[in-house]
Amino acid sequence: MITPENEIIFADNTAFCNNGQTYSSIDEALDHIHGDVKLIILSSISESVHIHRRSAIITTFGITVTVQQSFSDFLSVSMGTLYIKDALFSFETTANGDVSLNAIQCNNGGIVVFSSKFYGNHSTTLLSVDSSSVYMRGLRAFNFKKGIIGNSTLSLDSLILHVMDTGISITEGVVEIYDVVINGPPNDMGTMGIAYSGVHGELNVNSCFITCFETGIETSGTALLRGAIIHHCSENGIVAQNNTEPYLCEVSECHIDRCKYGVYCSKMFVAVVDSFIRYATTGVYADENYSTRVETTIIHACDTIIHCYNAQVMKVLGCCLYDCRNVFNINTVDCFNVCGCRVLYFRRTAFLMTGFVEEFGFQDNAFCINENDAIFEQMAPGFHINETETEGNVLYTKKNVEDRKSVV
């Protein structure tokens, strides 16, 4: 943290400097002061503040920002660093209605925020960044249209974001997220909780909670998602998709609840490990994906547990899959392997085969079914499997669990 010698106190529409001078605005005072500065804002403000080629600390004691039609940014930083600590900002609508505004805009600079609160006005973006570095800890932001957007190196720790549209959207940079809560509108669905499309960095999520969006997390770059809780998203819990280059997305120890598609992946390398997915139309949907691995994961209460369409490799290892209509819907896969899984309480068929499978591995699985259920159902004319390896599988009938027989 910087310790500047220059200090500006803003009160009653006047900027008081510690050199004895007074000015009509903060920007005017900054024009007459060189070097780093500390800003103490004591009263409501209706002007924007520009930090250029310097570092500045801002402290407030609960102020209201009256947004003007001429505003595009309230706090604007270029080639400098802005520190905000223990501050409270409330953005008030004008008589002309909501004005689109960035609470903070940073271009080729740095933003550091500690233990502060921001209240938006449904048309305000909390932070817009371009080629910058951002660190936020202990931030609470409510009633914003969007949270954090742009391209930036981003580190977030212990944040709460309430947004109407998008929580975090970063197009490039290394993004690290720890203990973050992102809530969409309670009576509607926002667009996206977290969106990441960087190709030179990566997205790291550790322990986040996301709810009330169309999509919880979407990535087209490298992503490591651990400990995410995502529920009540109208379309997708997690999307890993890139139509030009394949990247790795690992979903680990995540809970996805009441989303149409739990995990949707296309043209990526995706692993879902030690996770929990339920109440979805499809638990995991691999759509033309290069490689999908679902391991030691519980998926239940879905119409279809795993849907595989025109994919290259699908491996399901050591999973517990139950309470569904179809366990697997397989439509054209080069290599499909199910090993060490427990499959029970499905209402139609375990394997719904509607396309071509080049290699099929089916080992050491246990099934519990009703007498009228089927393990395999071949739907497409001419369907066939070129190479099949089946061994060690056990079938239990629901009527008599003690009566078991091998599945061939």
Q: What is the pLDDT of residues 150-193, one digit of tens each?
A: 999 999 999 999 999 999 999 999 999 999 999 999 888 999 99
Percentage, residues of the chain above pLDDT 90: 65
Q: Give me the pLDDT at residue 408, please.
A: 36
Is residue 399 scored above 80 in pLDDT? no
Instruction: Tell me how far apart the alpha carbons of residues 125 and 165 are, in angstroms, rounded to a whole number.
Output: 10
DSSP state of 93: P
Q: Give me the pLDDT at residue 18, please.
A: 87
Instruction: Tell me how far apart the alpha carbons of residues 148 and 134 are, in angstroms, rounded to a whole number.
Output: 10
Q: Sorting pLDDT into bands at 50, 70 and 90, what band is 377?
A: low
Neighbours of 235 (CB within 10 A): 17
Q: Give me the pLDDT at residue 197, please.
A: 94
- Long-range CB pairs of 395-401, under 8 A, 24+ apart, other chains included: 395/366, 395/367, 395/369, 396/344, 396/366, 396/367, 396/368, 396/369, 397/368, 397/369, 397/370, 397/371, 398/345, 398/368, 398/369, 398/370, 398/371, 399/370, 399/371, 401/368
Strand partners, 99: none
Q: Are 258 and 283 in contact (CB under 8 A)?
A: no
Q: Are 221 and 245 in contact (CB under 8 A)?
A: no
Q: Sorting pLDDT into bands at 50, 70 and 90, what band is 402?
A: very low
1-10, 119-128, 357-366, 371-380, range with greatest mean pLDDT: 119-128
Q: Give me the pLDDT at residue 191, please.
A: 96
Q: Give me the pLDDT at residue 407, please.
A: 41
Is residue 85 scored above 80 in pLDDT? yes
* 3-state secondary structure (DSSP) of residue 30: helix
Q: Give me the pLDDT at residue 371, please.
A: 64
